[in-house]
A and B are shown apart, each in its own frame.
Chain A
Amino acid sequence: MMLAGPAALATVGVVASKSAVRSALCLVFNFFILAFLYFSLSMEMIGITQIMVYAGAIMVLFMFVIMLLNPKLIDEKKDYKLPIGLLFGLALFMLLGSQILPKLMTANVPAMEYEVGSPKLVGEALFTTYVFPFEVVSLLLLVGVVGSVFLAKRRTP
């Protein structure tokens, strides 16, 4: 609960803040809180990978792109669609909340075994039981990289 509140606030900040850099920073903060959530479930490996990959590499790349494009602050205009959108948003929120909240009231913090997320166990699982899906996913990522390089290179003759 202590982690979920800041996480939700940060997510609101991503959508609500006017400057793109601040949105990105809120997202970084959100990733951090998410990593702490993983830590609290003794999933150290996934938590630290979350920080390293998302907060450390991908968001820095996002910042790089944002600064390269340097977008102007969005100036808000009065929009007649705004109240209607808010109404629908609230309705959706209540609908979802009425389904989720009763479940949450009775839920307990799942008690994980110590060391269930240690690098040793994760690595063993990845390279024995799930070695085929793991390799397929890595091949998929490689295809993505090659494809993006191909697309980027094609423009310049």
Chain B
Amino acid sequence: MDWLHSLNPTIQDVLSAIGRAILALIPIFVPVPFMIWYERRLLSWMQDRIGPNRTGNITFSSTSSAVPGFLKGKKIKLFGLAQSMADGLKLFLKEDIMPDKTDRFLFILAPCIALFVALTLGCTIPFGGDKRFSPVADVNIGMLYILAISSLGAYSTVLAGYSSNNKYSLLGGLRASAQLISYELAMGVSLGSMALITGSLKMTDVVTNQSGPLYGMIGFLHNWNILTPMGFVSAAIFAVCMIAETNRPPFDLPEAENELVAGYHTEYSTKRWGLFMMAEYMAMLTFSMVFATVFLGGYQWPIRWDVFDFLENNFLIGIVTMLVKGALGLTAYIWIRATFPRLRYDQLMNLGWKFLLPLAVVNLVISATWIFAKASYGSLAALITVGICYAVLAFIWAMVRHRAKKVEPQYRSRSVNMVPATRRTVEMVSNKEVTP
């Protein structure tokens, strides 16, 4: 490796940056087929089905002379993992259809933007304590970078919807742009309160800030943000916004099948649709990793013990830790998809603007209170203060809800009488003989 050190320092920097970029892409790019398989299997299990469990199994004949002796009657099991490979192969070999009267340039550009966003989102996430290998760029605006890149994701759906020259696609694109703008705000504010607590926007600082003992008192646990009260609220807000940003159920209104055929990618087929699909899964994984970095202590192990320090600083073990945490996030994604029905559009907007955003702003103020109380009176006092704050908030919330319930008339049902109820129509409905 001496020739590397003999190079110009600028070229050395560039080479190491390229190396780090490749190292950052591999853990996001490679798991995609496994993620698709995992989602299908887990979803099938939750829905009492079996799912793809045998594609790629090979059973060798026990009698044929063409099979060598050590393979006779043997089985090679892949548990259906080859299914997503086969699907991918099919997507790339199918006939490529691009409808007439599309805006060709934008039509091709849209999935590329989706892929670009999914790949570059993780560039500021540290995968291990070793700063030589990750993150790609340890910039001092790491959190803002994540917000900026994720806000660009709206372009892929909007452009896909516009360029397809299809009413359903256009509606899907419109919905996507409105949804992404709405949930970006709450996401930004919830990350902002974590930036307040960290005191820095650097992602590596966010991780190292979470490495101390919990509240400075409990020694065997890390000071993970999710274990602090305002961190927990922030994490809940961020998780909801994360699902909305990646257009996953129950926030998949841009691609609601029963209303919009397939939404913004109605006209897409083969490779380009495959790119959208890949981008969605990669965005899910990277968002889960961002969640893990900001709230779950990044590459740290859950128990605080000096022996683990060596493992946490190792890059490869760090990647495995991050991937396990990412897989946890993925499981939550799939679990939520299997549990909740899709939101109505007004519910979506109300949740974003009237619940999550005010909650995030209040949480920001409470985080500031926590910092002040901790600096002045110690962390136990801070914990009590913040607890009182949340109790007061919950009380006010309950009061407001109670008042609102009294003011608004309560309808017993949502049904509408289409025909004014006369004797004749009532008899028609109740299937009686109509007497003239």
Contacts and interface: CB of A to CB of B under 8 A. Distances in A.
A63 B177 contact: yes
Interface in B42-74: none
B247 to A, nearest CB: 15
Secondary structure class of chain A's binding surface, majority of residues? helix
A55 B235 CA distance: 26
B426 interface: no
Interface residues of B, number: 27
A69 to B, nearest CB: 11
Contacts of B140: 44, 115, 118-120
Interface stretch (B23-31, B143-151, B372-380): B143-151
Contact of B161 (A22, A67, A119): A67
Contacts of B144: 45, 48-49, 52, 119
A28 B181 contact: no
A52 B174 contact: no
Interface string A48-61: 11011001110011
B158 A57 contact: no
Contact of A51 (B148, B158, B162, B177): B148
Contacts of A57: 151, 181, 184
B141 A45 contact: yes
A19 to B, nearest CB: 7
Secondary structure class of chain B's binding surface, majority of residues? helix
Contacts of B145: 48
A37 interface: no
A68 interface: yes
Given A60-B158, A60-B180, A60-B181, A67 B173 contact: yes
Q: How large is the interface on A (under 10, 10 to 19, 20 to 34, 35 or more residues)?
A: 20 to 34
Contact of B154 (A45, A48, A52, A56): A56
A56 B158 contact: no
Given A51-B148, A52-B147, A55-B152, A67 B184 contact: no
B224 interface: no
A119 B139 CA distance: 11
B183 to A, nearest CB: 12
Contact of A56 (B141, B151, B173, B174): B151
Interface of A: 19, 21-22, 25, 28, 44-45, 48-49, 51-52, 55-57, 60-61, 63-64, 67-68, 70, 115, 118-120
Interface of B: 103, 106, 139-141, 144-145, 147-148, 151-152, 154-155, 158-159, 161-162, 170, 173-174, 177-178, 180-181, 184, 200-201
| Top 5 closest pairs, chain A to chain B, by CB | A56-B151, A52-B148, A51-B148, A64-B177, A48-B144
